[in-house]
Structure 1
Amino acid sequence: MERKREIQGKEFIQDVRSDMSREDLMKKYKLSSVGFQSVLRKLVKARLLSKDEVRGRGWSYKAASSEDELRKYSRTEVKFPLVVCPADNPQEKGFVRDISPRGLSVEGVNASVGESKKLRVRSNELADSGTFEFQVKCKWIEENESDDEKIAGFEITSISTGAFKELEKIRER
């Protein structure tokens, strides 16, 4: 059984209050997006950080507990072909349909609900982005009846600062 990592709350709080970015905090403490929210939620619950401090930084500290909550995050439709594949199977190509701060939907990549994968997004001149990888978990699957393609919704569970910046470039296009 994997032992949970312990984070020194006092140091984490000092880093938050020193205006360290979300991405830098996640990198320093080796946290996924979900882990980052978990730490914030625990610190707010323990009243070591205030809700206003967290919200003032534009961060959410509540984990999404249902698909409806996940959909509250704004989605950005990708209006150009953006190729994605499982990192361990580059021949299996799909296309990113939309991206949110918490995940993405992909057409053409095989997955099962609950399955974790490492995805690779290929560089794209239109988005001025490089190739990058990140860890995801499949949250839903939908059949596209018109062409028998499956569309899968993935939650991002772990992403590096560099990959997050590349993802943001795409969302801004």
Structure 2
Amino acid sequence: MKIYIKNMACQSCVAYVKEALDEMDIVTVKVGLGEIETKADVTDDEKREFNKKIKKVGLELLEKKQGVIIEKIRKVMVEFVYHSDEKPNINFSTLLSGKLNLSYTYLSNFFSEVEATTIEQYLISLKIERVKEMIILEEFNLSEIAYKLHYSSAAHLSNQFKKVTGLSPSHFKKLKEKRRIAIQDL
């Protein structure tokens, strides 16, 4: 049985979900970002109990088809921004369409209707939050960050960063108060 979870965007979330499932003695085949596959069907009571457990950390079960599609789109975006160090040979719209086996036009229109923002804007917000994290951690210089996040240049990244945050990356680095936004709050 497949179960879908909203806001599951990191390996800490995966670990927490695995722990909650183990506590409930629900045997899984696979636990990934936004998606669980169980060996046996999960009862409605078990789903309610599980949902209570994961809500404590900002996660939530998805029941409706539209929520599942939105979460699949988000999952591809998170993987693209957080788990893809190499520049893909294709653009994001082609990647998304291929992973979900649906046309990008359909996905884009659907996402915009449900989320009141575009896929492009959400992806930019996600990338900027990742840039903030990388700047704060000081592991990479701006050119390396630009490459890892699939920007054409450090200048393009800087311009987009300033447009979204109102600050240059170097000014952001100097600030202590203005920090990152949680992915689920984007």
Please tell me the TM-score bracket, short chain as reference. under 0.3
More helix by share: 2
Q: Which has the larger radius of gyration?
A: 2
TM-score normalised by structure 1 residue count: 0.28
**TM-score, reference length from structure 2:** 0.27
Decide which structure has greater strand share: 1
